Chain A
Amino acid sequence: EIVLTQSPATLSLSPGERATLSCRASQSVSSYLAWYQQKPGQAPRLLIYDASRRATDIPARFSGSGSGTDFTLTISSLDPEDFAVYYCQQRGNWPITFGQGTRLEIK
């Protein structure tokens, strides 16, 4: 099974700042990496698929990059609604696995 390791576990930033979240895979997943946002009491929402493609209705401030084993989710200028938990997910191989999450909190 492919293990995804997200860093940092918690990121404390202020609105308007730039956020950079990392996801590292234990072996190559090609570009089959997705990012999700989850707010308390809500289901996850797909942000990025295939490492860099924004999902429907996702604002342009969200971008993804990387391939192979190292991936990054960047939020260019944080909006108050962006403070949430973010998960990466791979389907380079079965089974599908998720990272443990990065909590983005208001500083």
Chain B
Amino acid sequence: QVQLVESGGDVVQPGRSLSLSCAASGLSFRDAGMHWVRQAPGKGLEWVAFISSGGSVQYYADYVRGRFTVSRDNSKNTLQLQMDSLRAEDTAFYYCAKDKWVRSLDYWGQGTLVTVSS
């Protein structure tokens, strides 16, 4: 079955950088668009970024554009999120999710917690 496992969450100071990874198995990863979605503790879901199956197309939410970069390595079945210039408001669980027809997200990982605090 499809498995998505995020890693890399940590406690970091404002202004610093952090990289998240998502390891995928049980699917044809090279054929799947992928998303990052975040959720601050006790709050709702916020979409962060999308990358197409081949990696040539990316979309970002306004609140992360220019600070976050989504990338993928189809040879290793991994998805990355490079987060720079982190802010306190970036504190959240970060989920990777598989895209379904560029319209919904059909499989989700369990999330990794990023805490931005001095």
Contact = CB atoms under 8 A, between A and B. Distances in A.
- Co-assembled chains A and B: yes
Interface of A: 1, 32, 34, 36, 38, 42-46, 49-50, 55-56, 87, 89, 91, 94-101
Given A46-B100, A89-B45, A95-B60, 8 more contacts: A34-B103, A34-B105, A36-B105, A46-B105, A49-B100, A49-B103, A96-B35, A98-B44
Interface stretch (B19-27, B83-91, B108-116): B108-116
B103 A32 contact: yes
B75 to A, nearest CB: 26
B59 A94 contact: yes
Contact of B108 (A34, A45, A49): A45
Interface residues of B, number: 24
A interface: dominant SS: loop
A19 to B, nearest CB: 19
Interface string B84-107: 000000000001000011111111
Nearest to B107: A46
Given A46-B100, A89-B104, A89-B105, A95 B110 contact: no
Contacts of B111: 43
A43 B110 contact: yes
Contact of B104 (A1, A42, A46, A99): A46
Contacts, number: 61
Interface in B41-87: 44-47, 50, 59-62
24 contacts: A34-B103, A34-B105, A36-B45, A36-B105, A42-B110, A43-B110, A44-B95, A44-B108, A46-B104, A46-B107, A49-B101, A49-B104, A50-B104, A87-B44, A87-B45, A89-B45, A91-B104, A95-B47, A95-B61, A96-B35, A97-B47, A98-B46, A99-B44, A101-B45
